[in-house]
Each structure stands twice: as C-alpha cells, then as structure tokens.
C-alpha cells in the first residue's frame, strides 16, 4: 500500500514505543518505528511529515541532533503521558495542526489498497497459506482470497491441541462459509504419539514445532511448487526483532523453518505493517465472522503448554472440557469482551477430595485471566467471585477427573502469561 503521509517515531529506549505508535495510528495517521541506531538517510527517504521522540536517554544522542536538523516538526513525548487527556490532546494537535495530517490511515482504505496490490502481485500464480485458525493467518488468507480465490490453497494442520470446537470452526468458516480451497489435515494422533511421555515444556514446544513443519512439508509436496508462501507476520513481530541498540527480543517469522523446506519463490506478508487491533479491523472489512476476528491470543504449541507435565489423551480431554466451560461462562456473563486473554490449565498435581460421598484423588485445574496491551506485561483480572464460583462448580460437577479449581492472581512480571 502506498503511504502518502508518515510520522516517524524514534525510539530511544525500547519503552512505551508500541503504545505511542498505536496512539498515533488510532488518530488515523500512519507511523513507523525506528531505533536510536537508525540511519538518517533512511528517515529522509520516508519523507516524514513529523518526527516523535520517545523513550529515555542519558543525554542527547546523535540521532536526536540529526532529526532536529531535518527541518521537520519534532515532538518530544518523553515527559508526556499520551492513555492522559492532556497528553492525547498534545499528540493530536501535533499531528493535525503542526504536521498538517489528513487522517488518511484507515483500515477500510488499507484493505482496499492491499487487495488491489495483491491482485497485481499475484496475478495467476499459486499461493500457499498455513492456516492456524488464529487471527493473523486468517486475515492474510481472507485478503488473498479477496484478491484471487482461484490461486490460493490453505493448509490447516490440526495437531489435536486446539481448544474444544476450534478445528470444526476453522473448517466451517473458511471452507464452508468463505469457500476457500482448504486442506484439513487431522494429524492429532501423530502429534500425541510424538508427545507421549514428554513432560519438559521446551521439549514439547520443539516437538510440536518440528512436527508441524514435517506435516506441512508433506502436504506442500503433494501440491507441488508454489510462487508465494504466506506468513502472518504483524508489526509487533518486526519491532521485537530489534529496531534499535536494544537488539532482538524474539525472532519474528511465526512459521519458523518453513522457508527451508517448501518449494516457493517469495514470502507474502500482507499484514506486516499492522498492529493486532488493526489486523482485527481488517478482518471485519474482509468479512470474517466476529468470533473469528476476536479470537484470543493462542500459543503456537496450543494446549500442549497448558497441560502441565505429561500430555495424555485423558488429561487433554479434561483440559478441553474445563477450558470450554470457562469460556462459555465468561461469555454468558458478558466478560468475554472485557478480558484480553483467559484460559484453563490442567496441573500435574492431584489432591484429596470428595465425590459422591466417597474420597477422591483427582486433578487440580487452574484458571487464568489477564489484561494486557502488548503481552510484554500483564495484570490478572478481578473477575467477580460469583462468575468464578459458577465456573468452578460446573468444572467439578461436569468434568470427570477434577475435584479442585484455583484462580491465578499473579501478574507479569514476575509470572509469565502461560504456565509453561
């Protein structure tokens, strides 16, 4: 998409950079983040209408002196609180009064331009997309489907570690409702066999990741050579790959390893310039169902890292049922749109209880619900006790093998969002 007006945000410390960027974009102005080691020539090429300095610095850095000499309006927000009313007003005034922004950055405009861009780029060439069921890959697939549905093949590898009802939902939405060419590979038995007896979380992640690549490779070989491979990279992935002297946070290619084993010419990353909330808005623009667009963040290894210890079919079934009950009751109470992420975990701990007036020795299920903006930090949610009580009662009554439910009230840090 051709961007006519751009604001450059120079990040001097790696703190609050995404918050500032999202604030700018929410005001319908496109922005790009660069680090304190950015090349001033590259900034000039963007031809920015304004520059924002954010973060913290010990004394003035060279990049600050250089950008101030460009003759472009500069706003230093290092001492300004922008989610405050006065800070938000200052930012808006800078963008629209000082920089003369036109407010052209909308997801409707992005969607229309991206579909046209994809039409031109793809032509009649073959496109392969690994569809996980998550928001990013779903929106990428939908954009390409809009551009040229005849060229797109989606492969959905079902590793058996998705939440209850999700594999069926993926097939229903993408194949039956949207009419995509979707190959559904039920590889659940294969994954569970590989995971049998494995309790170490890092080994689980490695096995699941490697097996996914093997399954996808096998399906791709059946399809043959393709021109484009689709990846659901989003802008925070690129930011966290390191935009400044702070360096790498994490590798951004979310289908790691695939480019080495699939016969393709080029990678397509249709939403690489978008934040997650922007991706969701594009999803609605291309006609994805609301429940798909609002799908919670979900780890790549799926329930494999929410089943603490050894993964067995019995324990996985318990976890799926408990998690389904939690999601159902949260939705019934109207809290599903108030919580960023919520899920159940089956621990490897059993405790004494009473069931049908007989002593029982069964599993403990933990519930987790958090608020977050960028997953770098998170706060546990104060869910009303009456909702938690209903969830607990239903799980212990309806799910065989569970006699105790606990609620995790730990924020990140010191904890992480997931348990493994």
- Which pLDDT tens digit goes with each residue over 72-96? 999 988 877 777 889 899 999 999 9
Token readout for 48 is: 């920015």
Pairing type for strands 341-355 and 358-371 reads antiparallel
Which residues 6+ apart lie within 8 Å of 368 measured at CB? Answer: 341, 342, 343, 344, 345, 380, 408, 417, 419
Provide the pLDDT for residue 280.
93
Query: Residue 15 pLDDT more than 80?
Result: no
pLDDT at 259 over 80: no
Say what the pLDDT of residue 247 is. 44
| DSSP at 305 | G
Question: Is residue 157 within 8 Å of 216, Cβ to Cβ?
Answer: yes
Contact between 367 and 297 under an 8 Å Cβ cutoff? The reply is no
The predicted pLDDT at position 248 comes to 38
pLDDT mean across residues, the chain: 89
Nearest C-alpha neighbor of 53 from the set 43, 45, 262: 43
Convert 224-235 into a string of H (helix), E (strand) and C (coil): CCCCEEECCCCH
* CA nearest to 77, candidates 66, 93, 62, 100: 93
Q: What is the pLDDT of residue 297?
A: 82
Question: What CA–CA distance (Å, rounded) separates 143 from 78?
Answer: 37
pLDDT band at 254 (very low <50, low <70, confident <90, very high): very low
Q: How confident is the model at residue 67 (pLDDT cuts 50, 70, 90)?
A: confident
Residue 250's pLDDT band (cuts 50, 70, 90): very low
Res. 190: pLDDT tops 60: yes
> Can you give the pTM of this predicted structure?
0.84
Query: Quick one: average pLDDT of 167-182?
Result: 93
Neighbours of 418 (CB within 10 A): 15
**Residue 257 pLDDT:** 47
Whether the pLDDT of residue 286 is over 50: the answer is yes
- Residue 300 has a CB neighbour count (10 Å cut-off) of 17
Q: Are 50 and 99 in contact (CB under 8 A)?
A: yes
pLDDT of residue 4: 79
Stretch 382-405: mean pLDDT: 97
- Report pLDDT for 241: 63
Tokens matching residue 236: 């925070």
**Average pLDDT for residues 269-281, to the nearest whole number?**
92
pLDDT(296) > 50 = yes
CA 261/CA 258 separation, integer angstroms:
5
Strand pairing partners for 407? 367
How far, in Å, CA of 120 to CA of 100, rounded?
32
Please say whether the beta carbons of 7 and 27 come within 8 A.
no
- pLDDT (average), residues 4-26: 85
Give the residue with greater pLDDT, 94 vs 376. 94
Quickly state the pLDDT bin for 134 (edges 50, 70, 90): confident
pLDDT at residue 2 is higher than 70: no
Q: What is the mean pLDDT of residues 288-313?
A: 91
Cα end-to-end span (Å), the chain: 39
User: In this structure, how many other beta carbons lie within 10 angstroms of the beta carbon of residue 45?
Assistant: 9
337 pLDDT band, cuts 50/70/90, is: confident
């Amino acid at each position: 998409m051709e961007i006519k007006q751009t604001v450059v945000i120079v990040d001097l410390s790696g703190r609050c950079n995404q918050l500032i960027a999202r604030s700018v974009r929410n005001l319908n102005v496109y922005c790009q983040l660069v680090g304190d080691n950015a090349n001033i020539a590259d900034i000039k090429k963007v031809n920015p209408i304004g520059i924002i300095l954010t973060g913290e610095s010990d004394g003035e850095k060279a990049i600050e002196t250089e950008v101030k000499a460009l003759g472009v309006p500069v706003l230093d927000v290092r001492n300004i609180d922008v989610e405050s009313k006065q800070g938000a007003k200052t930012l808006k005034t800078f963008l629209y009064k000082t920089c003369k922004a036109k407010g052209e950055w909308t997801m409707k405009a992005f969607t229309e331009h991206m579909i046209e861009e994809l039409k031109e780029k793809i032509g009649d060439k073959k496109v392969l997309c690994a569809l996980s069921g998550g928001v990013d890959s779903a929106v990428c697939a939908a954009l390409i489907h809009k551009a040229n549905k005849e060229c797109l093949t989606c492969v959905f590898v079902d590793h058996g570690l998705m939440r209850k009802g999700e594999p069926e939902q993926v097939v229903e939405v993408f194949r039956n409702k949207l009419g995509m060419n979707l190959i559904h590979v039920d590889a659940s038995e294969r994954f569970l066999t590989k995971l049998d007896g494995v309790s170490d979380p890092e080994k689980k992640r490695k096995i699941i990741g490697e097996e996914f690549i093997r399954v996808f490779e096998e399906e791709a070989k059946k399809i043959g050579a393709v021109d484009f491979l689709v990846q659901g990279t989003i802008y925070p992935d690129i930011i966290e790959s390191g935009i400044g002297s702070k360096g790498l946070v994490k590798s951004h290619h979310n289908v790691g390893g695939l480019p080495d084993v699939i016969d393709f010419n080029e990678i397509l990353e249709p939403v690489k310039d978008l934040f997650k909330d922007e991706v969701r808005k594009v999803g609605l623009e291309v006609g994805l169902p609301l429940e798909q667009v609002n799908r919670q963040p979900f780890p790549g290894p799926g329930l494999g890292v929410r089943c603490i210890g050894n993964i067995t079919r019995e324990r996985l079934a318990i976890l799926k049922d408990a998690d389904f009950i939690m999601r159902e009751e949260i939705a019934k109470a109207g809290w599903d749109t108030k919580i960023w992420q919520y899920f159940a975990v089956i621990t490897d701990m059993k405790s004494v209880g009473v069931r049908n007036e007989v002593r029982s020795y069964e599993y403990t299920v933990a519930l987790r619900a958090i608020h977050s903006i960028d997953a770098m930090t998170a706060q546990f949610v104060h869910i009303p006790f009456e909702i938690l009580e209903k969830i607990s009662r239903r799980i212990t009554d309806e799910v065989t093998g569970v006699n105790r439910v606990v609620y995790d009230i730990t924020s990140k840090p010191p904890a992480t969002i997931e348990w493994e």
